[in-house]
Amino acid sequence: MYKRLTVLAAVIAINTVLAVLFGWSCLEGSSAGKILPGITIAGVTLGGMSPEKAEIALREKFGGLENESLILEGGGRQWKIPMRDIGAVYDYGEAVKKAYAVGRSGSLLRRISEFLGNRTRAASISLLFKFDREALEKELEKISREYTRVPRSARLVAENKKVKLIPSEEGLEMDLAETMNRIEDLQAGVPPRVVIASRPVPPQVGDGDLSGLTDVLAECVTPFEDRTPSRIRNMARSADRIDGILVDPGEVFSFNRRVSPIDERGGYEKAPIIIDDRLVNDYGGGVCQVSTTLYWAVLLSGLEIVERHAHSRPVKYVSPGLDATVADGLLDLRFRNNLDRPVYISASADPEEEIVRVAVIGKKEENTDHKIEFEVKTIPPEIVTVINPSLRPGRSNVINDGSPGFDVMVYRVTLMAGGGDRRELISDDYYPPEPRVVEAGPPPGTS
């Protein structure tokens, strides 16, 4: 009995396979050169059609994309890209090729499987878009510049000798590759609308990076010496470039590295500046007031001065000995953070208050303070007399009042609550006097 059942089952299986093979061969024969029954592209039934007729049917249904626009959405905004600008067309040929390949490609088992599938349910194929990829990338790059939200680093500001934290903000940028993938997945019958793929951009300085920096180590203010608009803009630009800088323990801060190039390329303008002991108009006039204000604050913070240079003549906005001139590639202001915690620089040039303000923020060492002391020797200007024959004998005019020079020694005194104050020589600067120039007529009795 068991053997009979086994034989019967085998006979049934063989007959089933033969029936499937016969049906598949008949269908393949009757569908030669045609798309198999039950196959659709974008909802259009194409079974029994030749590839040529199927493509004509699709073109009649969907037409072209010349008058359409691709719509991108993100961040509550919308952008439209005309399809003609990115060479967008329906990829009719590829869709028809896929439809015709159903039941005709792969192994015999696969073809039979696809045949059986089409007998029980329709096979739906998408009609995708085709683009000029290079043109599309250029359009996406334009939109990306508008879409991008620049991250904002956490900031510290000094207000009434207290530190205030301005929290950071995460940025956002377009994920170009994923956005491109989403666009390439668009298909007929679905509105050409894509949500921009994005990824977050972390701020360079997060809130946590500034934790523990609760004290104003020093804050210094210098008044505008010159109110020339170009000079004010130069001061604002250089102050902005050092504002928000975090200097780690052991790190050496370079002023020039942060603000350079100090020329037209760096966005600086021509303004009054001291070069070779003369006041001339050149790029970056005003930048030295920012470096000077920073130098003063760094001194009072107890940080180690690595490099600093005095001007060739005194400036009006600080006492002699407290100035710090800079010149691209030649003279720099550098200091080392010799504390065990980071320090933060807050800097601004305020055209309304007409001041440059720099604060160094960190964690104050207990029972320690700093002050600056000076030893100043004033050098009177010499008098230079120039004979002017056009003047009457005995007459004279002052051409240049001149100015005194200074020999200045600057000391930093570290004040300890328990006594034992430490005094260190910071600089010994010489500012030569400017001669007093007088023109005089010929001596009496000369002709």
Q: Which value, in Å, is the radius of gyration of the alpha carbons in the chain?
A: 41
**pLDDT (average), residues 208-231:** 94
Q: Where is average pLDDT lowest: 118-122, 145-149, 406-410?
A: 118-122
φ, ψ (nearest 5 deg) of residue 310? -85, 155
The per-residue DSSP string of 203-260 comes to: -SS-GGGGTT--EEEEEEEEE-S---HHHHHHHHHHHHHHTTEEE-TTPEEEHHHHH-
pLDDT value, residue 275:
72
> Is residue 229 reached through a cis peptide bond, with omega within 30 degrees of 0 on the bond before it?
no
Amino acid at 139: E
Q: What is the pLDDT of residues 99-133, one digit of tens each?
A: 999 887 655 454 455 555 544 345 889 999 999 99
Residue 332 CB neighbours (<10 A): 20
Helix or strand or coil: residue 179?
helix
Pair 273, 285: CB distance under 8 Å:
yes
Q: What is the pLDDT of residues 2-31, one digit of tens each?
A: 555 554 555 465 555 444 444 545 545 555
pLDDT value, residue 122:
54
Q: Where is average pLDDT lowest: 60-69, 327-336, 382-391, 425-434?
A: 382-391
pLDDT value, residue 23:
52
**If 0-12 CB within 10 Å is exposed, 13-18 middle and 19+ buried, where does residue 235 land?**
buried
CA 434 to each of CA 286, 309, 384, 401, 431: distance values in angstroms, whole numbers, following the listed order: 22, 20, 10, 9, 9
Going by C-alpha positions, the residue among 265, 236, 273 that lies closest to residue 347 is 236
Q: What is the pLDDT of residues 311-362, one digit of tens each?
A: 999 999 999 999 999 999 899 999 999 999 999 999 999 999 999 999 999 9
> Whats the size of the chain, residue-wise?
447
**Nearby residues of 309 by Cβ (< 8 Å), 6 or more positions away:** 324, 325, 326, 331, 333
pLDDT value, residue 2:
53
pLDDT value, residue 316:
92
Examine the pLDDT at 375 and tell me if it is beyond 80: yes
272 has which bridge partners?
Answer: 281
CATH 2.30.33.40 fits 366-447, yes or no: no
pLDDT value, residue 113:
55
Domain with CATH 2.20.230.10 in the chain: 366-447
For 132, the token pair is 């000029």
Mean predicted lDDT score pLDDT of the chain: 88
Residue 51 CB neighbours (<10 A): 17
Longest dimension (CA), the chain: 160
C-alpha to C-alpha distance for 109 and 21, rounded to whole angstroms? 10
C-alpha to C-alpha distance for 287 and 103, rounded to whole angstroms? 77
Residue 81 CB neighbours (<10 A): 22
E strand map for 340-446: 343-350, 355-362, 368-379, 383-387, 396-400, 405-416, 422-431, 436-440
pLDDT value, residue 441:
83
Q: How far is CA 71 from the centre of its chain?
A: 27
Q: Where is average pLDDT lowest: 76-80, 277-281, 290-294?
A: 277-281
* Dihedral sign of CA atoms 385, 391, 393, 397 in order: negative
Residue 190 CB neighbours (<10 A): 11
Helix or strand or coil: residue 3?
helix
For helices 229-242 and 287-301, give the axis angle rounded to 10 degrees.
Answer: 40
Q: What percent of the chain has pLDDT over 90?
A: 69
